[in-house]
């Protein structure tokens, strides 16, 4: 049964001596807002990490496949729905029968967690329709402006035999952020869960679990030390909600303790206003 409550959440995570989300159009430097120098992490990056966690935690469990996965061929994913109901796909078109069209789209929602959560545009050559997912996230933005640092590195091995005759090692560069705390905000719509994808309470609990463990199984030399620091969830007692989301987000404030460059989470204070919550809204500190 699909969820019956609307939710919003605030996610705080940090990076130490790493690149949380490189920009391929800028030599893979950490993404920044060029006008303010605040760091950015895209919603696509965060959703990728949620997908990867679900694949690890639920690998092989029916109903928890990942649609947008490494090496996946989307038309082949869509073919699964047509084969399930012995239907023949017509190029770039949904089945003419409305019930058949609902079946193939419904199959994709039932079998792929990320479609149930985030939705998908499946209007490729093998058409399975388009669904709007109940879980959406904004770009994460750093609490303070960041300074991106370019670090020179060396490699004792060389690339080719010709290079070996000329030099003993090669030089390289990597981009890091010495430290930054990021804030992302997200939404879970019970309305879309019920009308479209069937996102249920088990799926929701898996989402919270993924957000808490977002970086625990994704460590790399490029990303440095990353960790989820806080997950604050607002739960409404209805499908449509009891208060505007921006008013709830404003109850979570993050401030720097001292006027010096931050280098750890302890350099910040997180204050959560629990007093006078709007009627019908509960606040949970998941981490």
* pLDDT digits 0-9 by tens, 161-212: 776 667 767 777 889 999 999 999 999 999 999 999 999 999 999 999 999 9
pLDDT of 100 strictly over 90: yes
Average pLDDT over residues 67-91: 94
Q: What per-residue confidence (pLDDT) applies to 159? A: 75
Query: What are the structural domain ranges in the chain?
Result: 7-146+176-285
Supply the DSSP string of 132-199, one letter for each residue. E-SEEEPPEEEEEE---EEEEEEESS-SSHHHHHH-S-EEEEEEEEEEEEEEEEEEE-HHHIIIII--
Which residue bears the tokens 């994808």? 197
Q: What per-residue confidence (pLDDT) applies to 164? A: 66
pLDDT of 281 strictly over 80: yes
* pLDDT digits 0-9 by tens, 131-169: 999 999 999 999 999 999 888 888 777 777 776 667 767
Q: For all residues of the chain together, what is the average pLDDT?
A: 94
């Amino acid at each position: 049964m699909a969820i019956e409550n609307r939710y919003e959440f605030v996610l705080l995570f940090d990076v130490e001596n790493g690149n949380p989300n490189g920009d391929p159009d800028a030599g893979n430097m950490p993404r920044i807002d060029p006008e303010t120098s605040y760091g950015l992490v895209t919603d696509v990056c965060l959703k990728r990490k949620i997908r990867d966690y679900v694949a690890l935690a639920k690998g092989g469990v029916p109903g928890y496949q990942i649609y947008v996965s490494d090496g996946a061929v989307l038309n082949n994913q869509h073919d699964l729905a047509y084969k399930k109901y012995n239907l023949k796909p017509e190029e770039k078109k949904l089945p003419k029968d409305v019930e058949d069209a609902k079946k193939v789209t419904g199959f994709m929602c039932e079998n792929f967690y990320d479609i149930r959560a985030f939705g998908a545009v499946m209007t490729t050559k093998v058409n399975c329709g388009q669904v709007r997912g109940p879980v959406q996230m904004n770009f994460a933005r750093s609490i303070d402006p960041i300074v991106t640092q370019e670090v020179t590195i060396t490699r004792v091995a060389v690339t080719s035999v010709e290079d070996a005759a000329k030099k003993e090692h090669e030089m390289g560069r990597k981009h890091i952020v010495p430290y930054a705390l990021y804030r992302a905000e997200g939404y879970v719509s019970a309305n879309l869960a019920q009308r479209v994808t069937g996102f249920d309470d088990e799926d929701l609990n898996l989402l919270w679990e993924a957000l808490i463990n977002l970086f625990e199984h994704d460590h790399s030399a490029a990303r440095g030390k990353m960790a989820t620091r806080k997950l604050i969830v607002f739960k409404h007692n209805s499908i449509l909600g009891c208060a505007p989301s921006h008013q709830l987000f404003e109850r979570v404030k993050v401030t720097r303790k001292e006027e010096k460059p931050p280098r750890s989470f302890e350099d910040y204070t997180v204050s959560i206003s629990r007093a006078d919550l709007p009627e019908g809204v509960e606040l949970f500190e998941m981490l």
